[in-house]
Structure 1
Amino acid sequence: MRQSLTAETAQHFAAIALGHVGREYPNKPANVFSGPEDAKTPSELHPIFHGSLDWHSCVHGYWMMAHILRTFPDIPAAESIRALFDAMLVPDKVAGECAYQAKPTSRGFERPYGWGWLLKLSAELSLLDERCWFENLKPLSDVFTGRFTDFLPVATYPVRVGTHFNTAFAMRLAADYAETIGDTALLGLLTETALRWYGKDEACPAWGEPSGDDFLSSALVEAECMRRLMPAEGFLPWFDRFLPEIVARRPATLFSPASVSDRSDGKIAHLDGLNLSRAWCWRSLAKALPQGDPRRPIMEKAAEDHLASALPHVEGDYMGEHWLASFATLALEA
């Protein structure tokens, strides 16, 4: 049976996020210190996104809550989400986040994973009735739009790993923002870059999956990025070339959920995220194929297998709990 995001699950996920987006410690900073004056607490450095162990996880915790608020505006957690956003997504705190990004040493901060998630959050906020949250965050969104605009033209090569440095995943998220707010320049740059980097790829072996640190499928995320940015008439022939043996369930590794041996280890716990991100991609890619395509049921079955493997472990240990519900939401809503 195909699982989806229900009001009950949304309430549960929202409660998880509300429990960690304001939790300042433990904290894993990604800061470059220019001098002793930069030795500040996480909340001093990042007035909004200082919880959830690290900056990017806090950002996509906010995205998940915004998505839940839009999708299920009447669940019990909705009032708490609105109160949090009213308290945190305000001009002075956004200015503090922007001030951190204005430092010369922040040029590569969270590149590109956090960039994509911040824009994904902003896109979600733009769809809510409470338009002020989107407007208040817009200066920070503009910073990361500028980061993409500056970086992509000089990035000769993509990054294909299954971790935060993956470029296809970040562009996939940024595409939602560009389309939602009508930033045609950014959308055009994302499309041109994706075609330049990935347009000639074919017969993907997925030979490096999974590694012990992956939470993204470099193969499937690339395909999902191309699905998002290419017109259907161009994507389908590309996809046929990129993964030509899906009917035979090859590459076999993409159809087998990763095994997670120790969920208290932050890196090994990434593999639950890999299973969720594969489920998201398989579902989304299957929907792009014509009805009756023999690949669709195979891909949908792979998605359900990966979901079944990971969903029971969205909470339980903070190493996964501080972020996995966001990826589960992506997969369930695909």
Structure 2
Amino acid sequence: MSRFCLDSDTAARFARIALGHVRQEFPHKLDHVLGSDEDAQPPHVLHPIFFGSFDWHSSVHGWWTLLTLRRLFPDTDEARAIEKLADQSFTAEKVGTELAYLKRPLSRGFERPYGWAWLLQLHLEASRHSESWAPELEPLARAFADRLSEHLPALTYPIRVGTHFNTAFALVLSLEWAEQFDEDLAAAIRERAKHWFENDRDCQAWEPGGDEFLSPALIEALCMSRILPEPEFVTWFGGFLPKLDLGQPATLFSPAVVSDRSDGKIAHLDGLNLSRAWCWTSLAPLLPAEEAQLAYDTAEAHLEAAMSHVAGDYMGEHWLASFALLALLANDT
């Protein structure tokens, strides 16, 4: 039994963190290609919904955090603040401006694939609420789904780095949306994941890299657990990590050391610890008893290393609560 859980106090803390940054415009790191002087605009003009949280994708998953917490803990002051802010933010006019940005010729690769996948997750979460947020956001979600549908067959090789470009992570988030809203896309995701990963064996797990917030090994395993039937996944996973019972590769079981949380890239490693906890906790129920316990123990160690650092420095604070929430939601299932 983990000592970390999504209780009301933790939920309120995460909600206050996200409420504090989704409307904070600066500092800001734009994913923006300029074609002329006229394109030099501030974030709130380019992105009237997702202008906070240091960058566009962090704003999107900051909103996912807020809506998820509002659904799970609806009778709180934070939930009421989230509802009011969402009503002000998710409007047809503002979504239209976000869509117009995507139609710029220079925006083809905007936020690919990480921001795409998180926007689909946000729309999926919005659909679990009775307000008009999901219908308002759906055109934006459909636009990103169309981009993903076009991109999957064009991507000859998967991207395996542990940062925003990771293919498997985007597939995990996008598949959950597609299974509800676009079965053709869901089928394409399953087909490409099998094409890219089905024959992977004896993963060496040379990680972490110095700026990674995802485990390339574990996020691939999580992806395969979502697209393969359980018996097939168990066989695949046994070949992918054949020495799991021996605690090998050892790199997957040791939390990353974060030397400087004011450095945005090094601070990614707190996210690695949280996302590994999410992956290990999600995979554990599919494993034999001893290996499952190892997975749960490893997840706990990673949570222990990271949970106290979700807030404190803006380089982590603008995004880490989302990954902490992923891990705690896996703990609670």
Same structural fold, with TM-score higher than 0.5 when normalized by the shorter chain: yes
CA shift digits 1:114-138 (9 cap, x unpaired):
01100011111111122x1000000
CA shift digits 1:279-324 (9 cap, x unpaired):
00000000223xx532100000000000000000000000000000
Match of residue 219 from structure 2: 221
Answer yes or no: is the 8 Å Cα contact 1:7–1:75 preserved in 2.
no
Q: 2:239 corresponds to which letter in structure 1?
A: R
Q: What SS does the corresponding residue of 2:231 show, helix, strand or coil?
A: helix
Q: What SS does the corresponding residue of 1:19 show, helix, strand or coil?
A: helix
Match of residue 111 from structure 2: 110
Q: 1:241: Cα distance to partner?
A: 0.8
CA distance in 1, matches of 2:92, 2:284: 41
Match of residue 243 from structure 2: 245
RMSD across aligned C-alpha pairs, in angstroms? 0.8
TM-score if structure 2 supplies the norm length? 0.97
Q: Give the count of matched residue pairs.
A: 329
State yes or no: 1:184 paired with 2:177.
Answer: no
Match of residue 171 from structure 2: 171
Match of residue 153 from structure 2: 153
Answer yes or no: is the 8 Å Cα contact 2:258–2:269 preserved in 1.
yes
Q: Which residues of 2 match residues 1-334 of structure 1 at below 5 A?
A: 1-2=1-2, 3-130=4-131, 132-179=132-179, 181-207=180-206, 209-289=207-287, 293-334=289-330
CA shift digits 1:100-157 (9 cap, x unpaired):
0011111101111101100011111111122x10000001001100111000011100
Give identity over the alignment, percent: 55
Q: 1:4: Cα distance to partner?
A: 1.6
In structure 2, the gaps of 5 or more residues are none
CA shift digits 1:163-222 (9 cap, x unpaired):
00000001100011112x242111101000100110100110101x11111000000000
Q: 1:225 corresponds to which letter in structure 2?
A: C
TM superposition outliers: structure 1 runs of 4+ over 6 Å: none
Q: What SS does the corresponding residue of 2:21 show, helix, strand or coil?
A: coil
Deviates more, 1:29-38 or 1:224-233: 224-233
Answer yes or no: is the 8 Å Cα contact 1:158–1:167 preserved in 2.
yes
In structure 1, the gaps of 5 or more residues are none
CA distance in 2, matches of 1:121, 1:240: 33
Answer yes or no: is the 8 Å Cα contact 2:286–2:292 preserved in 1.
no
Q: What SS does the corresponding residue of 1:128 show, helix, strand or coil?
A: coil
CA distance in 2, matches of 1:150, 1:61: 27
TM-score if structure 1 supplies the norm length? 0.97
Q: 1:158 corresponds to which letter in structure 2?
A: P
